[in-house]
Amino acid sequence: MMGRRGALIILEGVDRAGKTTQCKKLVQALQKNGRPAEMMRFPDRTTMIGQMISSYLEKKTNLEDHTVHLLFSANRWELAPLIKKKLQQGVTLVVDRYAFSGVAFTSAKPGFCLEWCRNPDVGLPKPDLVLFLQLSPAEAAKRGQFGVERYETSDFQQTVQHRFNQLMKDPSLNWQVMDATKGMEDLHQEILRQSEAAIAEAESQPIKELWKEGSAVPC
């Protein structure tokens, strides 16, 4: 008999929404409930491709915009076999950013449409749940200054937010919008509840492919 597979759970959201903190708390809580769970993040800066991306984000190197978009996607594809293996082994993966950040950030640049941005990621393991941590620019500002990495400006983040809003209209994905202004613990409980539901649902389903059935979001 085939064992139950794990769920692919993604946390997305603009900067300072608390994605990383919530990913860690979720993994701990799932493990405490007796569920095998591990955290991953994109970009994964530890691979060769990840190092090129990291150097670009730190503004140590420049890369042409299409090129870096494809590198972000390649960074997911190089880990796709591992993601599938873990899910099949029954491990639930909690992932800090995925293809949605890929599309939202690149399409926030002039001259890029959602359709072009989405293409390289078509066919990746499809998430069972995408949690979007919603935080207004004003709330985000209260949480302190931006860092020094590329993309960390409020103008750019606003455009990114618009792009995320467009992506969230896609009914082929299980998007859940979370109010990130809530206290850390309340937010965690809500995320845990959504995740347990997605894990139960995923158990009986095959791993699907992202954006394969087509999507209603135009360019």
Question: Which residues lie near ligand FDM (CB under 6 A)?
Answer: 42-43, 57, 72, 97, 101-102, 105, 151
**128 within 8 A of 202, measured Cβ to Cβ:** yes
The residue number with the shortest CB distance to ligand FDM is: 102
Q: How far is the CB of 47 from ligand FDM (least distance, A)?
A: 13
Is the C-alpha dihedral spanning 158, 99, 10, 129 positive or negative?
A: positive
Nearest CB to ligand FDM, comparing residues 70 and 129: 70
Q: How far is the CB of 102 from ligand FDM (least distance, A)?
A: 3
Is the C-alpha dihedral spanning 97, 186, 194, 90 positive or negative?
A: positive
Q: In what order do the strands lie in the sheet with 8-13?
A: 37-41, 92-96, 8-13, 129-134, 175-179
Q: How far is the CB of 204 from ligand FDM (least distance, A)?
A: 29
Taking only Cα atoms into account, the Rg of the chain, rounded to an integer number of angstroms, comes to: 17
- What residues form DSSP beta bridges with 209? 125
In a 3-state reduction of DSSP, which class is residue 125?
Answer: strand
Q: How far is the CB of 151 from ligand FDM (least distance, A)?
A: 4
Nearest CB to ligand FDM, comparing residues 77 and 151: 151
Nearest CB to ligand FDM, comparing residues 151 and 196: 151
Nearest CB to ligand FDM, comparing residues 10 and 199: 10
Nearest CB to ligand FDM, comparing residues 124 and 199: 124
Q: How far is the CB of 33 from ligand FDM (least distance, A)?
A: 26
Cα 153 to Cα 16, 39, 69, 116, 168, distances in angstroms: 12, 27, 19, 24, 22
